[in-house]
Chains A and B, each alone.
Chain A
Amino acid sequence: FLGAGGGNDIQWCFSQVKGAVDDDVAEADIISTVEFNHSGELLATGDKGGRVVIFQQEQENKTQSHSRGEYNVYSTFQSHEPEFDYLKSLEIEEKINKIRWLPQKNAAQFLLSTNDKTIKLWKISERDKRPEGYNLKEEDGRYRDPTTVTTLRVPVFRPMDLMVEASPRRIFANAHTYHINSISINSDYETYLSADDLRINLWHLEITDRSFNIVDIKPANMEELTEVITAAEFHPNSCSTFVYSSSKGTIRLCDMRASALCDRHSKLFEEPEDPSNRSFFSEIISSISDVKFSHSGRYMMTRDYLSVKIWDLNMENRPVETYQVHEYLRSKLCSLYENDCIFDKFECCWNGLDRQVHIVMTGSYNNFFRMFDRNTKRDITLEASRENNKPRTVLKPRKVCASGKRKKDEISVDSLDFNKKILHTAWHPKENIIAVATTNNLYIFQDKMN
């Protein structure tokens, strides 16, 4: 497996961990999304309490060439508050479902964050100077007595302690009846889509009072509902193309040029079911929890309960690659159904933009996460735990013993902790730095630099 010492294999080392050490997890601290910005300098997390915390990477220290810059808190703000919908007598959770960064156009940074119902565009800007030397005001703001002013001077900007401010610039509300599961910014950087269980809407970043509905799978009669939308994403290069995945394990690719309402897909990606694996839970585990285009846009990756699949956009009838994340759970599906773990929504991500390396990463239980190297076909299981927290020490690969005699250092399936799930992971867009979220902690790992 990866990390065994092969020349080109990445060796992952612990770098940092953020969050409370407590075993007793405060519900509001549960991390619900993790996302690097386009340069990788900023790393944002959203939590169940509606807060966004942004970490910034230190500029590389010339004297410490053995490690890349550390991530430190840059800004923290309350993005969403709990709301009460009086008309429906429903509480709207403040949990941040997704964060997506906009590419940087000027000094400020912009991101979209969403809860179940409302999307917000946040501007994060720095202030490190302030004007001093006003004629009519003292430094503390009090007005001067005009009769004491004898000379005029031009106020000048003087440095101050860095202040990072987050302000909501747009609020995109009231467009979703069902719960928003995805947002995706178009490659035109002017529009974005938001998807809920049954509908997908297209927004312009400047316009908050209306959106276009581009997909609607709600049946006239709700009794006929058998499928919901689980994730959606714009193509990285083609601004009229997007995909959405469903609870039945299908992915539909749509072209917005074809018609205003993209109810008819251009392509339908679906793998026929393997009859030997058929069970009562087949449909449930086929539900796709995440879909991500590759950087080139030629491939897309989907995550269902037990596997990660890579699809070639030119081939609809089956994926080109399938990686088993935790096949040993297939014989435990009834128990996992009973305790609702079977509904856990794992995300997946591609490695950063590197033409040589093609690795995909996803999370599992027991605070394990998995990586699959598409070139070498090797895979590795690593653990995010505070016990491994010696910087620059290579992480030890983990192994789960499915059945039979358990070897030393292996963990048996029955000892896995299903409350420790890694649902959210992110890969730095340019370097081999990864962010892995356990329930309430954020781990940062980097490759060992020699």
Chain B
Amino acid sequence: MLGRGLKRKLSDYEENMAGLSSAFDSSRSLPYPLKRQLVLNMCLTKLQTYKMLVEPNLHRSVLIANTVRQIQEEMRQESNQQPVNICPGIAPSSHSYTGMESSGISLQLPSGISQQESSCCDLRSVEDPIENSLLIVSDDDMSSAISSILKDLDFVEDISPPTCLVPTGDDQPKFLESTGLKLEDDRQDLKGAECVFGSFEISNSTSYLKDLAIDDIFEDIDTSMYDSDFSCPPLMPPRSPSLAAEEPLKNFPSCNSSSASNIQICRTDLSELDHIMEILVGS
């Protein structure tokens, strides 16, 4: 019988997320961009989980998508105002947008902390400026992630269904093509039997949905905080951190120019972030 959704089992991942969110709530010294990145990651995790449900909750999905858009907009404004990176040690007040180059900074963790300790923070070598700049989540990819989720919600609700949103392949172009079809069907709005059977026919070749690899949609998004060790729902193919680093590389050639200045920033920030990470990992 098709279940209502996948049960999230309590895992190391969840415990670590709980630790991070209470750190968010209680710590005043957490820099604003780090907080923002944390919230963004939580949002994307939730959206990702909802995508795997047979019937995602529309209300929650919309609220979370709006939060992602809001953060996205903020980051976009920041990068418009400040193309070059700036001084560290910003007060985490909501009014100071002269922040560091947003998420480019937030996950530069010192290589000293061992991988085993923190299962939810993927660690990058500080010495690798290219990798550092790859932690930036691109606007377009976030937008497309939100779009695809909302489109899927529509698809699930208003048109004939997938049997299951299980990603089995890497066929992203096919998915986008079929998305166009779905929108057309949606406008007919399932009034007559012919519409029902029409859309049933199209979706009968549900391969485009089975081909949907969630990872492909999210591949350009920074999932380092929760990617590595935790027991993700088994539907997602495992990805090694190095692979995750390499692929975005292809998509961010423009970031190389700013990478040099990143090194300066991350070195001066090291001790501060080091300290924060010790608190977080220790808790």
Contact = CB atoms under 8 A, between A and B. Distances in A.
Q: Quick one: which of A279, A284, A337 has the most chain B CB within 10 A?
A: A337
Contact of B2 (A91, A220, A222, A279): A91
Interface string A148-173: 00000000000000000000000000
A334 B18 CA distance: 9
Interface string A241-253: 0000001000000
B160 A88 contact: yes
B62 A247 contact: yes
A225 B161 contact: no
Given A89-B162, A222-B150, A338-B18, A287 B55 contact: no
Interface in B49-83: 54-55, 58-60, 62-67, 69-71
Contact of B36 (A220, A280, A331, A343): A280
* Interface secondary structure of A, over-half rule: loop
B161 A178 contact: no
A197 B200 CA distance: 24
A63 interface: no
B4 interface: yes
A179 interface: yes
A246 B162 CA distance: 29
Given A89-B162, A178-B58, A339-B18, A222 B25 contact: no
B4 to A, nearest CB: 6
Given A91-B4, A222-B153, A334-B24, A280 B71 contact: yes
A337 B21 contact: yes
Interface residues of A, number: 37
B22 interface: yes
Given A87-B196, A221-B183, A93 B4 contact: yes
B157 A223 contact: no
A97 interface: no
Contacts of B183: 221
A189 interface: no
Contacts of B66: 226, 283
A177 interface: yes
A339 B26 CA distance: 16
A327 to B, nearest CB: 14
A316 B144 CA distance: 36
B242 interface: no
Contacts of A93: 4
A116 to B, nearest CB: 9
B35 to A, nearest CB: 8
A329 to B, nearest CB: 10
B139 interface: no
Contacts of B70: 280, 283
A90 B54 contact: yes
Given A247-B59, A278-B94, A223 B151 contact: yes
A223 B176 CA distance: 14
A198 B2 CA distance: 25
A349 interface: no
B265 interface: no
A98 B222 CA distance: 41
B163 A89 contact: yes
Given A197-B59, A280-B71, A283-B66, A89 B161 contact: yes
Contacts of A179: 58
Given A87-B196, A221-B183, A283-B66, A178 B60 contact: no
Contacts of A90: 2, 54-55, 156, 161
Contact of B158 (A177, A332, A335, A337): A177
Contact of A87 (B1, B18, B67, B161): B161
Contacts of A220: 187
Interface of A: 87-91, 93, 177-179, 197-198, 220-223, 225-228, 230, 247, 278-281, 283-284, 287, 331-335, 337-339, 343
Interface of B: 1-4, 17-18, 21-22, 24-26, 35-36, 38-39, 42, 54-55, 58-60, 62-67, 69-71, 94, 146-147, 150-151, 153-154, 156-158, 160-164, 183, 186-187, 196, 200
Given A89-B163, A281-B39, 20 more contacts: A87-B161, A88-B157, A88-B161, A89-B161, A91-B3, A93-B4, A179-B58, A198-B58, A223-B147, A227-B62, A230-B59, A278-B94, A281-B67, A331-B25, A331-B26, A332-B25, A335-B21, A337-B21, A337-B42, A338-B42
